[in-house]
Structure 1
Amino acid sequence: MSVSEITVGEGAYGVTLRGEEVWTTLVHTGVVARLAGGEVERLDLEAPESRPSVMVTAPDGAVWFTRSGDNSIGKIVDGVVSKVAVGGSPYGVCVGPDGAMWFTVMDADLIGRVGADGVVSEFAIGTAGGFPAYITSGGGDLWFTLNAGNAIGRMAVDGVVTTYPLPTEAAGPVGISAGPDGVWFVEILAGQVGRIGRDGVITEFPLADRGAKPHAVVATADGGCWVTLWGSSALVRLDAAGGVRETVALGDGAEPHGLAVADDGSVWVALEKGSVAHIQPQE
């Protein structure tokens, strides 16, 4: 694997791909950056306290992102930024099975939905103090991590929630991503990667470094996943059986957070130190 970096500004956090473009949020400065053709364009949200965080690209090409600092969901279309107010501090966001944008509200124990008409609906998860974090779509449902509730949540599009407690106590689940054979998630406090099947069965895979602080995860087409290790400044790839197949060092102090996998198999990772790393397979 070869690793290259592009400087984008302090606090790179979320990543999403839009065709040949790479988008990232700069969580500390209220800026969204776009990488295209080797050039970096920064869009100032004119709200330094907005804390743009997790990003996703909609099927129509619009870029959506959570603004955890000013209780809203941001949207960028043709360089124009807009936002939708929500009922608390949002964090995770994904395209749902119904084509709408779904998001978590960390401090209000809610899952929200923004429809094509811009109407916001919010659903209680039924777990007080659960602190829902990342969210993903898989098998016709929404799946999300309950960071403080130590569980995985599953929500149907009608708002019905099922909760699956984790086998490991105080594991602190954060990232989550649906794959072809189940849903991958990470446990930042336990140093483990987990997978939950459609039947609700959970399997946990301890990392060699239990202090690596796995943060974000993206499932891959072969049944495995990529995981950022915030605490050890690295990236790892797991196979479908949960075995670590590759480890990519990103340098001391990199603080990797969000990541995205391109169609060519390369990986883009946001490094909080101020850059986006591009990891490419060797020819």
Structure 2
Amino acid sequence: MLETTLLRRSGRRLVTASVGALIAMTAAVGPARADVGDVTEYPITTRADSGPAGITSGPDHALWFAESGAGRIGRMAVDGTVTDFPTSGPDTGPTEITQGPDRALWFTEVTAGRIGRITTSGRLAEFRIPTADSGPSGIAPGPDRALWFTEANGNKIGRVTTSGRFSEYPVPTPNAYPYSIAAGGDGALWFTELGSGKIGRITTSGRITEFRLPGDSDFPDDIAAGPGGMWITASGSNSVDRISSTGRVTRFALPDPDSLPSGITRGPDGRIWYTDQSGRIGRISANGRVATFPVPGGADKVPFRLTTGPDRGVWFTELIGNALGRVQALPR
């Protein structure tokens, strides 16, 4: 499977499994699994092995997440109540998810080679990508009111309108494995190339520019807009990086030598937050000052992706822990 291949290249893990019946269901919320320091965990009570991957805030003031192990899309209210909805099959491999310009949730189906759309009421539509076995991974809304996504196997950047019309743009570097994508403040989309150690920039007209990270063993993973440019997690360098609109890279080393930085987002406090698959959530200021928050159970949970929640907390997925976590993002 694509996710396993890509994450093996960067020394990470991804577990997928097919579990559960294909029906939408709601479970009563239980108590938070654990409170340690600033981290609170909420179990995904609808599935035993959901494999939560991507996460985003929805227009209904809830958290929406991709259940990569169950072929479902989950919704969690800020009190921990979980509802989930099936895609067209248990092995579609939903991976990343974002809110679209039409107030629906859009997601990638890495195994099925499709882009999915689901409304907050659970109405599903799926659109097949023209390139077969393209392996869609990251997805983000663009300034042109379309959804932009990466095709890791197809080595392309894709664009789909809210009506399901596709365009595709080849990445110049062969076997680049474009992975994550985010809109920048310059009107373009920026993406990571997990296989080449580069960062790409694509305009809405399809023009691509690539910038190489300084290390030989970098595996750029996730990307987000933040103070001073685009911020990137790069596991091979044990750092969080920032790249300017001209391609200048500033590297901020992480204090823990065993760090495996993965997801990244701008928090409600204006700082950059990242997940560390070694079992921490990190926060970094514009000048590189880092604070970390331990996740109960550490690396066994595999903190993966994160987003700012509707309650001004920072919420994250536990890829193996079958839970969502929350960190209170108060100024310190």
8 Å Cα contact 1:27-1:52 kept in structure 2: no
Return closer, same or farther for 1:269/1:29 CA change in 2, 3 Å cut-off.
Answer: farther
1:123 alignment counterpart: 127
8 Å Cα contact 1:27-1:53 kept in structure 2: no
| 2:256 counterpart letter in structure 1 | G
8 Å Cα contact 1:182-1:196 kept in structure 2: yes
1:196 and 2:202 matched: yes
| 2:235 counterpart letter in structure 1 | W
2:20 alignment counterpart: none
1:82 alignment counterpart: 83
- How do residues 28-43 of structure 1 correspond to structure 2 at under 5 angstroms? 39-43=38-42
Distance in 1, matches of 2:43 and 2:232, equals 29
Distance in 2, matches of 1:177 and 1:106, equals 18
Return closer, same or farther for 1:93/1:250 CA change in 2, 3 Å cut-off.
Answer: farther
8 Å Cα contact 1:265-1:281 kept in structure 2: no
Deviation at residue 40 of structure 1 after TM alignment: 2.3
Distance in 1, matches of 2:277 and 2:105, equals 25
| Number of equivalences | 256
Distance in 1, matches of 2:238 and 2:196, equals 17
Distance in 2, matches of 1:101 and 1:34, equals 27
Please give the per-residue CA displacement for 1:152-207, whole angstroms capped at 9, x wherever unaligned: 00001110110000000000110100123200000011000010001100000011
Distance in 1, matches of 2:220 and 2:251, equals 15
8 Å Cα contact 1:235-1:250 kept in structure 2: no
- How do residues 29-68 of structure 1 correspond to structure 2 at under 5 angstroms? 39-46=38-45, 47-68=47-68
1:7 alignment counterpart: none
Please give the per-residue CA displacement for 1:70-112, whole angstroms capped at 9, x wherever unaligned: 1111111132011111131100100001110000000011000
- How do residues 95-174 of structure 1 correspond to structure 2 at under 5 angstroms? 95-138=99-142, 139-174=144-179
8 Å Cα contact 1:257-1:272 kept in structure 2: yes
1:72 alignment counterpart: 72
1:235 alignment counterpart: 240
Structure with the largest fraction of strand? 1
Which SS does the other structure have where 1:162 is aligned? Answer: strand
Return closer, same or farther for 1:28/1:252 CA change in 2, 3 Å cut-off.
Answer: farther
| 2:169 counterpart letter in structure 1 | Y
Which SS does the other structure have where 1:93 is aligned? Answer: strand
| 1:60 counterpart letter in structure 2 | D
Which SS does the other structure have where 1:231 is aligned? Answer: helix
Return closer, same or farther for 1:27/1:191 CA change in 2, 3 Å cut-off.
Answer: closer
Deviation at residue 264 of structure 1 after TM alignment: 3.8
Return the TM-score normalized by structure 1: 0.83
1:257 and 2:258 matched: no
Return closer, same or farther for 1:251/1:40 CA change in 2, 3 Å cut-off.
Answer: closer
Q: Which runs of 5+ in 2 are unaligned?
A: 1-12, 18-31, 290-332
Distance in 2, matches of 1:29 and 1:155, equals 26
Q: Which runs of 5+ in 1 are unaligned?
A: 1-25
Distance in 2, matches of 1:159 and 1:240, equals 30
Distance in 1, matches of 2:171 and 2:231, equals 21
Identify which of 193, 202, 211 aligns with 2:217: 211
8 Å Cα contact 2:218-2:237 kept in structure 1: yes
Return the TM-score normalized by structure 2: 0.72
Distance in 2, matches of 1:217 and 1:34, equals 29
| 2:43 counterpart letter in structure 1 | D
- What percent of counterpart residues are identical? 35
